[in-house]
Amino acid sequence: MRVTDAAERDAAPSWSPDGSQIAFESFRDENLEIYISNVDGSNQRRLTDDPAGDSHPVWSPVSNETAFVSNRFGNLDILLLTPNGAVSTLATNSAPDSDPASVAVTLTTLGFLCLITRPMIRL
């Protein structure tokens, strides 16, 4: 199933805990931002809007909050986005961290990485 049709890169999908929505990163505005849509591709909307790159969204398994990686503060930090749009820092590094595996381990440690077996989707 194809969810998006943007000409630019859409990647890193993450299913909501109830399976009704997908968060993903997109370069459609010439900057990596976090987007969300219904699983059928409808109701696509941008969740973040910052000059820095925002990527790798991961839903909290117990709420509508989404953790994501951003370089807003000069290095890769893990931030939390609440349903009302508030952003807070969950974890920060004193040095840049470009290793996705390291970020995934950090998210797992924080309890936000939820492995859910779902049908394969193509963004």
| pLDDT tens-digit profile, the chain (123 residues) | 567 777 778 888 888 888 899 999 999 888 999 999 998 889 999 999 999 999 889 888 777 788 888 888 877 788 888 877 788 877 666 554 555 555 555 555 444 443 332 333 444
What is the predicted pLDDT for the residue at 102? Answer: 56
What is the predicted pLDDT for the residue at 105? Answer: 54
What is the predicted pLDDT for the residue at 43? Answer: 92
- The rounded distance, in Å, linking the Cα atoms of 13 and 41 is 12
What is the predicted pLDDT for the residue at 12? Answer: 85
Q: Which residue has the tokens 């299913």?
A: 15
The answer for residues whose C-beta is within 8 angstroms of residue 109's C-beta and 6 or more apart is: none
Q: Which residue has the tokens 């969300």?
A: 36
Answer yes or no: are the C-beta atoms of 20 and 118 closer than 8 Å.
Answer: no
The domain in which residue 98 lies consists of 10-109
What is the predicted pLDDT for the residue at 46? Answer: 92
Within a domain: 53: yes
Query: For residue 56, what is the domain's CATH number?
Result: 2.120.10.30
Within a domain: 118: no
Answer yes or no: are the C-beta atoms of 28 and 14 closer than 8 Å.
Answer: no
- From the list 73, 31, 38, the residue with the least C-alpha distance to 55 is 31
- The rounded distance, in Å, linking the Cα atoms of 45 and 67 is 17
Within a domain: 122: no
For the chain, the domain total comes to: 1
What is the predicted pLDDT for the residue at 34? Answer: 93
- From the list 68, 62, 114, the residue with the least C-alpha distance to 90 is 68
Within a domain: 119: no
Q: Is the dihedral of CA 27, 31, 33, 38 positive or negative?
A: negative
